[in-house]
């Protein structure tokens, strides 16, 4: 039903209006206990029309302080990776599995993920991405129910509900593993983002550039 509603509302103006309603709803969310410790809900940001979505785990401290996804140290690295591959940060949409910070940056609990996941489902229905990039193990598990782990799964295209999905290392993992050797995490991530960029470019042509 919601999916049909979203699909019926396709103009950029309608999508932006609907997105704004969606955002208000998430900003008032009290579906799980994280609402008691958060400072800000981090809904996501970026292009509503370019149909490429990067999904992380959950907000960290700087994200909780600012209400914006991926703006702390890991986020700054993600932004540099995007830009090195030719993306502007605002050209893509960036969000997380959970929209509120797990205290101390712990991995979100299964109950928190289950209570939150309807927001991500709505986001995907609204933005209709052609490409989803799953950053690290938490989104990898959510999308693909994978027990394989990010090291095995990254760098390959999967199809999730008809959408091209690639798992990629989480930038915070790259911050902990600085090695630049060939075949190391940074080298592999550089290959992955270029592959993602190539697929994105091959899908271009019908987008209209609305950002939030």
Q: How far is the CB of 204 from ligand URA (least distance, A)?
A: 26
Q: How far is the CB of 190 from ligand URA (least distance, A)?
A: 14
> Which CB sits closer to ligand URA, 2 or 151?
151
> Which CB sits closer to ligand URA, 97 or 131?
97
> Which CB sits closer to ligand URA, 69 or 129?
69
> Which CB sits closer to ligand URA, 56 or 129?
56
HEC string of the chain equals CHHHHHHHCCCHHHHHHHHHHHHHHHHCCCCCHHHHCCCCCCCCEEECCCCEEEEECCCCHHHHHHCCCCCCHHHHHHHHHHHHCCCCHHHCEEEECCCCCCHHHCCCCHHHHHHHHHHHHHHHHHHCCCEEEEECHHHHHHHHCCCCCHHHHCCCCEEECCEEEEEECCHHHHHHCCCCCCCCHHHHHHHHHHHHHHHHHHHCCCCCCCEC
Q: How far is the CB of 70 from ligand URA (least distance, A)?
A: 4
Contacts of 177 (CB under 8 A, 6+ apart): 184, 185, 186
How many other CB atoms sit within 10 Å of the CB of residue 41? 19
- Which residues share a beta bridge with 211? 47
Binding site for ligand URA (CB under 6 A): 56-60, 63, 69-70, 72, 74-75, 96, 136-137, 150, 169-170, 172-173
- Which residues share a beta bridge with 133? 54, 166
> Which CB sits closer to ligand URA, 7 or 176?
176
> Which CB sits closer to ligand URA, 38 or 170?
170
Q: How far is the CB of 78 from ligand URA (least distance, A)?
A: 8
Q: How far is the CB of 206 from ligand URA (least distance, A)?
A: 29
Q: How far is the CB of 4 from ligand URA (least distance, A)?
A: 30
């Amino acid at each position: 039903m919601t999916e049909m509603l979203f699909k019926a509302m396709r103009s950029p103006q309608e999508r932006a209006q609907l997105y704004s309603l969606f955002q208000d709803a998430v900003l008032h969310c009290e579906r799980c206990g994280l609402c008691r410790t958060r400072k800000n809900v981090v809904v996501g940001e970026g292009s509503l029309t370019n149909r490429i979505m990067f999904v992380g785990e959950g907000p960290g401290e700087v994200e909780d302080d600012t209400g914006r996804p991926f703006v702390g140290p890991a986020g700054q690295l993600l932004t540099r990776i995007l830009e090195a591959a030719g993306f502007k940060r605002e050209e893509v949409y960036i969000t997380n599995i959970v929209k509120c910070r797990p205290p101390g940056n712990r991995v979100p609990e299964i109950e928190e993920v289950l209570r939150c996941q309807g927001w991500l489902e709505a986001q995907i229905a609204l933005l209709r991405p052609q490409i989803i990039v799953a950053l690290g193990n938490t989104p990898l598990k959510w999308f693909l129910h994978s027990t394989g782990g990010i090291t095995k799964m990254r760098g390959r295209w999967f199809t999730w509900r008809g959408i091209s999905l690639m798992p990629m290392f989480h930038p915070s993992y790259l911050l902990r593993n600085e090695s630049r050797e060939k075949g190391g995490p940074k080298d592999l991530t550089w290959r992955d983002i270029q592959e993602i960029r190539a697929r994105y470019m091959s899908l271009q042509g019908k987008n209209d550039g609305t950002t939030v």
